[in-house]
Amino acid sequence: MLRKLAVCPLLLLPLATAGEGGSVSPDSFYALKTTTLQGQPADLSQYAGKVALVVNVASRCGFTPQYAGLEKLYEELKGRGFVVLGFPSNDFGGQEPGSAEEIAGFCKKNYGVTFPMFSKLVTKAGPEQSPLYAYLGKSGSLPSWNFGKYLVGKDGRVVQFFPSKVAPESSELREAIEKALAN
């Protein structure tokens, strides 16, 4: 005897929704959740509809001075729907050993960082990898060192990956950001 299966209406609800950006696809960076550097829950859907530069940062790295350029980019372009999102990582050379409070203090004191910073996470592939970097890695690139940069479009999909040596001031990065903002 065949039985009819009931469809559960809860399964038809969207997986995530966004504030100003509208619905967020489950295959979007903006569908993910994380924690702020202050330990508060953070829903990345709040950035849907914006262009984001997602950066794995570290306080004791040769690339650490890039914080200044990242802050300058953020200040210059935030009014146009652009945001820099910093994710501290201790994966490369143990160059981010500090606590959340130490990281926040270092960034504020030395570089005047005002862009959103989140809790330390694992960028490298493996069982401990953060879901954020598992998603970003689907683009075919994972950082091989600190200050790897993902340009994420308004739809939450990775537009392009830039390795550590590409500085925030580089024309290559600036052109990609401008193109993403225009789309």
CA end-to-end span of the chain, whole Å? 55
Q: How far apart are CA 61 and CA 59, in angstroms?
A: 6
CA geometry: angle 135, 145, 54, nearest 5 deg? 45
Q: How far apart are CA 96 and CA 56, in angstroms?
A: 10
User: Which residues are known catalytic residues?
Assistant: 110
Q: How far apart are CA 177 and CA 112, in angstroms?
A: 22
The helix/strand/coil state of 109 is helix
What six digits make up the tokens of 13?
A: 């609800």
